[in-house]
Chains A and B, each alone.
Chain A
Amino acid sequence: MTPMQTPTTWAERTGLTERLLDIGIAVFLWAFRIIVLFVVVVGSLLTLARGRYSIEVWIDLIVGGLSLGAIYALIALGYTMVYGILRMINFAHGEIFMVGAFAGFFTGVYLAGTGLLTASPLSAVVGIAIMILMAMAVAALVALIAERIAYRPLRNAPRLVLLISAIGVSFFLQYTVRGLFGPGIYAYPSVPFLAEPVDLPLLSILRLKWLDVLVIGSAIGMMLALYLFVMRSRAGTAIRAVSEDKATAALMGIDVNRAIVTTFAIGAAMAGAAGVLYGLMFRQIFFFSGFVPGIKAFTAAVLGGIGNIPGAMVGGFLLGELESVGPTLFLDGLGVPSPNQLKDVIAFTILVLVLIFRPQGIMGERLSRSRA
């Protein structure tokens, strides 16, 4: 490392270019902001001015965004908790979600055979609860095996090594599922009760279906339970202590290993539950179903502030809404053909925007630059 050898020439040579570069970057970043702002504001105004969509369409989009956001939020929790404790992006988390969806699927097929899912609303809810519990258990089990084999031995390796290993786990899980169950698309068992509209006096204006109530309600319920667990229970306190400082936590007598394992298991269980909700909502799953929702949920975690549990929930709902309402609201007015094709572009643009302009997310600390 010898840039110091000839300090004068180095400084002379770079002085002007450096200043020019700085100005160039500033101009570029401002241009970026202005373009995005332009698309959002002008696009929205034009869309609204045209009035092609009725209020019912917007309500449907918003409710759909809430359901989607609930699923993203549940997956994002796993990313955020694991990142908080290990400073690692668990690239395979989306696959854990997919494994959960499959576990729920096979449970669901069995339950559908017994007629539990169709007999009455109450029995359907019981059946779905069993599916979710199965999915949580299987997802947690798979995540623990992955942690034991692929992550734990590398805990002190450079972080790039850990990330590559996680990418390996991701491939391995995808193609294991493909090998076990085949490459086909599986249709989730239908639960007729979920497709019925909610006929309650005040809620009827929201045009909710029972499916939306189930997805949003159970997601919020699980998130509350998780929040209480992390903030109130002993194991939760241990997890928070280990995220804060591993070495000190160890000195305080906390079993670091156990805290990490608990974190993985809880995050995976949430993702597994999200997998069942996703299956009930979109009705089909296959071995690659976990990848895109996984990346989106990571975006949600970053949006909310990675490492921050309430942040992941907020980020999830926000991303769900932006993705659901965004294409129509921002792009339709600008005359973009089939704007829904670009919903993933919106999600990834948000990811990049957040990383550039507010890396700490909505409610997190500034990690992507300092500790990362």
Chain B
Amino acid sequence: MTAVTAPPPTVAPIASARDLWLSVAIRTGLIAGATALYLCLTGIVPTFDSRPLIRDVITLGQVALVVAFMAAGLGTAIRLGTQASPGRTVLGGTVAGLIAGAMLSALVLLGSVVDLRAMFLHASPALWNVLTFEMGTSGFWVPAAVGAVLGGLAAAIWLLPGALRMSLLAGLAMVLVMGLFAGLLRAPMLSGPLSGLARQLFAAEGLQPIGALLSFAAGAILVPLFRPSRIRARAQRLSREQRRVTAVPLGGVLLLLVLLLPLGLGPFVAQVVALIALYVLMGLGLNITLGLAGLLDLGFVAFFAVGAYTVGLLTSTGEYGIAQWSFWAAVPVAVVIAMLFGVVLGLPLLGMRGDYLAIATLGFGEIIRILAGSDLLKPWLGGPRGITNIPKPLDVGPDSFLAGPNQIYYIALACAAVIAFVAWRLRASRLGRAWIAIREDEDVAEALGVNLVQTKILAYMLGAAFAGLGGAIFASLYGSVFPSSIQLLVSINVVAIIIVGGMGSIPGVVVGAIVLIGLPELFREFSEYRFLFYGAVLILMMRFRPEGLIPSRIGRQEMHHDAAEDDPLTATAAVEPS
């Protein structure tokens, strides 16, 4: 027979016997050390080292290493569980941290002998200095020592009684969050009556030590009091009537917040907020194609481009403008043209399913991008130089609070609200149910009388129309369209927003847009690592929460139903010779 071997168990065993503690510690330490090496060599640690979390105390780069070391200790403690004695647990954590740290020490030692920079851009003296507290390569022992201490400490924290442990970790997490957002909180406070307080709490970058202490206290006290699980349990105890009564004011406050959001923000944050609203709009549009009808469209950017270029051509006062219309007159035209493109590009794709559809639409998106930048269409679309001088929708003075990105924010928000309403009403309609039926099983849906051609074309049309609208708003947000703004990344962004937020879920799209578009834009200093973070988020989400952060009811059922389906590998396990 071919290759009859018992497959090794795929899940790491939780150590049961006492003498396993060392191997658990070593394995965890190696994983944490590999992660720490990765963080150092990809440049995350040295880059973030220039950004303090607490002024003169700790930088973000150091925090990344601290987290890696503590994860080694915590991971060991968790894997050992309650079976190991407290002493063993702490010892195991120390060993794991020591190993993780020793791997970095080895890197420093290696770096002092060989010129690693020829290969790794970030393996420079600057990195050695971060790792050794400015001692250079002679301080190579520092990471190992720090790792051992932190690993042991983390394991000891794990041994604390539950409530205390939670307070401690919540406090640390709060310091991290406040430190990350310090800049955002400080800017609006400085202009108001709170400027004195702002200076006390926040440094130019990161927290002041006092602010850090206060954040820690706030996290340690408040988080255990308002645990999400506790709130959810209380909400479930409320009657339906009570819930409705609390929901109305809560929703009102939320709405007011959303409407007033751009007011106190600087122009940069306002632009980011407008971009988030734009992506919410597009996410809701694709949510119809992908979330309801289950058609994975990676060529979303094609329709986005059609909308953007249509508005550009019709409204631009520059070289390539043909009509100098107002934004409001151009948008309906853009939406209709995008919709027509949706039909034209959708027709050939009707028979395709699943990932073939994804690749074919991706091909369409690339074709449109290349054509837009080509010499062939240059006389009309401006080639790589694109279309510029696209006016803003509202002609208001520079002092008006509607100037600049704010008006785009409100327009995008209004459009998003309309799309959300349309999507919500459609979902329960005959068409919406036909879409969901197609998504579940095309053949069965067809047998039940769903007209596949019509239903799919409608899904493409609507998705394309909303993409066109997104493109139109994008064009007036930035005042220009270039072929380089029609990146595949736009399509991927939108798909990722839906996936991370939860397929078919409207609040999910909002959360997805904030997490994937807003956070990376706000933390510009990390922009170099934005897509690294992105890739990691996609992989982790698919592995641990494929239904998304805020799943729709059907989406959740689907993911959990599928996971339980027959599995050929369990069949392997069943026939393996024992």
Of residues 319 through 372 on chain A, the ones whose CB sits less than 8 Å from some CB of chain B are: 336-338, 341-342, 344-345, 348-349, 351-352, 355-356, 359, 368-369, 372
B7, A369: Cβ atoms closer than 8 Å: no
**If A1-B433, A179-B44 touch, does A164 touch B3 (CB 8 Å cutoff)?**
no
Chain A contacts of B4 at CB under 8 A? 253-255
Residues of B contacting A302 in the complex (Cβ-Cβ under 8 angstroms): 356, 359
- Report the separation of the CA atoms of residues A171 and B534 in the bound assembly, to the nearest whole angstrom: 7
Q: A155 CA to B566 CA in the complex, in Å?
A: 11
Shortest CB-to-CB span from A104 to chain B, Å, is 13
A169-B535 contact in complex given A157-B563, A181-B121, A250-B571, C-beta closer than 8 Å: yes
Contact B542 A89 (CB under 8 A): no
Q: Which residues of A contact B228 (CB under 8 A)?
A: none
In the complex, what distance in Å separates the CA atom of A2 from the CA atom of B542? 32
Instruction: Give the contacts of B358-416 with A (CB-CB under 8 A).
Output: 358-360, 362-364, 366-367, 370-371, 373-376, 378
Q: In residues 74-122 of chain A, which contact B (Cβ within 8 Å)?
A: 88-89, 106, 109
Among A156, A162, A238, A257, contact of B2 (Cβ-Cβ < 8 Å): A238
Number of interface residues of B (CB under 8 A): 88
Set of chain A residues within 8 Å of B1, measured between Cβ atoms: 252-254
Residue of B359, B499, B529, B575 with highest tally of chain A CB at under 10 A: B359
Give the complex CA separation of A253 and B2 in angstroms.
7
Q: What's the Cα separation between A336 and B457 when bound, in Å?
A: 33
Q: Does the CB pair B296–A157 fall under 8 Å?
A: no
* Given A1-B448, A253-B575, also A179-B2 (CB < 8 A): no
B195 CB to closest chain A CB (Å) equals: 38
Give the interface centre of B119, B534, B568 by most chain A CB atoms within 10 Å.
B568
Q: A21-B453, A253-B575 are in contact. Are A176 and B532 (CB under 8 A)?
A: yes
Docked-complex contact B119 and A106, CB < 8 angstroms: yes
For A32, the chain B residues whose CB sits under 8 A away are: 348
Question: Is B563 touching A181 in the complex (CB atoms < 8 A)?
Answer: no
Q: Which of B330-379 contact A (CB under 8 A)?
A: 344, 347-356, 358-360, 362-364, 366-367, 370-371, 373-376, 378
Does A164 lie within 8 Å of B2, measured CB to CB?
A: no
B531 at interface by CB-CB < 8 Å:
yes
CB pair B121 A341 closer than 8 Å? no
> Which residue of A2, A235, A238 has the most chain B CB atoms within 10 A of its CB atom?
A2
Q: CB within 8 Å of A: which of B549-578?
A: 558-559, 562-563, 565-569, 571-572, 575
- CB <8 Å contact, A258 and B7: yes
- With A7-B449, A165-B542, A251-B575: A234-B3 Cβ-Cβ less than 8 Å: yes
| B130 proximal to A (CB < 8 A) | no
Asked if B292 lies at the interface with its beta carbon under 8 angstroms from chain A, I say no
Q: Chain A nearest CB: distance from B510 CB in Å?
A: 20
Q: Which residues from chain B contact A247 at a C-beta distance below 8 Å?
A: 566, 568, 571
The reply to whether A368 and B352 form a contact with Cβ atoms under 8 Å apart is yes
Asked if A256 is an interface residue, CB under 8 A from chain B, the answer is: yes
Cross-interface CB contact of B374 among A109, A256, A259, A338, cutoff 8 Å: A338
Q: Taking CB as reference atom, which chain B residue is nearest A336?
A: B376
Q: Is A277 an interface residue (CB 8 A)?
A: no
A183 vs B445: C-alpha distance when bound (angstroms): 48
Q: Does A182 contact B (CB under 8 A)?
A: yes
Tell me which residues across on chain A come within 8 A of B367, comparing CB atoms: 344-345, 348-349
The distance from the CB of A209 to the nearest CB of chain B, in whole angstroms, is: 29
Flag A2-37 by CB within 8 Å of B: 1 or 0 each. Answer: 111001001100100110011001001100100000
Given the complex of chains A and B, what is the CA–CA distance between A88 and B355 in angstroms? 8
A298 at the interface (CB under 8 A from B): yes
Extra 14 A-B pairs, beta carbons < 8 Å, given A179-B528, A341-B373: A1-B445, A160-B294, A164-B538, A168-B537, A172-B535, A250-B568, A255-B572, A258-B5, A302-B356, A342-B371, A345-B367, A351-B359, A352-B348, A372-B355
Chain A residues contacting B10 (CB-CB under 8 Å) are 152
* B375 neighbours in A (Cβ, 8 Å): 337-338, 341
Given A1-B433, A298-B359, A352-B364, CB of A168 within 8 Å of CB of B2? no
CA distance A156 to B10 in the complex (A): 15
* Chain B residues at the A interface, C-beta cutoff of 8 Å: 1-5, 7, 10, 38, 41-44, 118-122, 294, 296, 344, 347-356, 358-360, 362-364, 366-367, 370-371, 373-376, 378, 430, 433-434, 436-437, 445, 448-451, 453-454, 457, 492, 495-496, 499, 528-529, 531-532, 534-539, 541-543, 546, 558-559, 562-563, 565-569, 571-572, 575
- A153 in contact (CB, < 8 A): yes
**How many Å lie between the Cα of A170 and that of B496 in the bound state?**
13
Q: In chain B, what residue has the closest Cβ to A109? A: B118
Q: Tell me how far the C-beta of A125 lies from the nearest C-beta in chain B, rounded to whole angstroms.
A: 25
A179 touches B529 (CB 8 A): yes
Verify if A62 is at the interface (C-beta below 8 Å from B).
Answer: no
Given A4-B448, A7-B449, A157-B542, the answer on whether A179 and B492 have CB atoms closer than 8 Å is: no
The docked-state distance in angstroms from the alpha carbon of A306 to that of B364 is 20
- B3 with A258: CB separation less than 8 A: yes
Beta-carbon contact of B454 and A17 below 8 Å? yes
User: B538–A171 contact, CB under 8 A?
Assistant: yes
Give the complex CA separation of A154 and B541 in angstroms.
11
A148 to chain B, nearest CB (A): 9
User: Given the complex, which residues of A lie within 8 Å of B499, measured CB to CB?
Assistant: 164
Q: How far is the CB of B297 from chain A (nearest CB, A)?
A: 12
- A25-B350, A153-B543, A165-B542 known; A342+B529 contact, CB < 8 A: no
In the complex, what residue of chain A is closest to B457 when comparing beta carbons?
A: A21
User: Which of B43, B350, B366 is the one whose CB lies under 8 Å from A348?
Assistant: B366
Give the Cβ gap from B503 to chain A, nearest Cβ, in Å. 8
Q: Among A162, A176, A256, which residue has its beta carbon within 8 angstroms of that of B572?
A: A256
Which residue of chain A lies nearest to B353 when distances are taken between CB atoms in the complex?
A372
> What residues of B have a CB within 8 angstroms of the CB of A201 in the complex?
none
**Contact present for A250 and B569 (CB under 8 Å):** yes
> Which A residues are in CB contact (< 8 Å) with B362?
295
Say which residue of A3, A345, A349, A369 sits within 8 Å of B449 (CB atoms).
A3
Residues of chain B within 8 A (CB-CB) of A14 are: 451, 454
Specify the chain B residue showing the minimal Cβ separation from A247: B568
**Residues on the B chain within 8 Å of A28, using CB:** 344, 347-348
- Does A210 interact with chain B (Cβ within 8 Å)? no
A239 to B367, CA, bound (A): 36
Q: Given A246-B568, A258-B7, does the pair A337, B376 have CB atoms closer than 8 Å? A: yes
- State the Cβ distance, B275 to closest chain A Cβ, in Å: 20
A152 contact set on B, CB distance < 8 A:
10
Q: Given A348-B367, A355-B352, are A172 and B567 also a contact pair (CB < 8 Å)?
A: no
CB distance from A265 to the nearest CB of B (A): 14
Residues of A within 8 A of B360 (CB): 351-352, 355
Residue among B120, B436, B546, B575 with the most chain A CB within 10 A?
A: B546
Cα–Cα distance between A168 and B533 once the two chains are bound (Å): 9
Q: How far is the CB of A154 from chain B (nearest CB, A)?
A: 6
Q: With A345-B370, A351-B359 as known contacts, state yes or no: A254 contacts B2, CB within 8 Å.
A: yes
A156, A168, A182, A356: the one contacting B536 at CB < 8 Å is A168
Known: A172-B536, A255-B3, A351-B360. A158 touches B558 (CB 8 A): yes
The smallest beta-carbon distance between B577 and chain A, in angstroms, is: 8
B residues within 8 A CB of A254? 1-4
Contact status B569-A169, CB under 8 Å: no
Which chain B residues border A225 with CB–CB below 8 Å? none
Residue in chain A with minimal CB distance to B539:
A168
Query: Which of chain A's residues has its CB closest to B499's CB?
Result: A164
Which residue in B44, B351, B359, B366 is a CB contact (below 8 Å) of A369? B351
A129 interface hit (Cβ, 8 Å) = no
B351 surroundings in chain A (CB, below 8 A): 356, 359, 369
* Residues of chain A in range 139-161 having any CB-CB distance to chain B below 8 Å: 149-150, 152-161
**A29 CA to B373 CA in the complex, in Å?**
27
Question: A251 CA to B539 CA in the complex, in Å?
Answer: 31
Cβ of A214 under 8 Å from chain B: no
Cβ-defined contact, A345 with B371, below 8 A: yes
Residues of B near A172 (CB, < 8 A) are 532, 535-536, 539
A348 to B317, CA, bound (A): 34
Most chain B C-beta atoms within 10 Å of own C-beta, residue among A17, A171, A173, A348 = A171
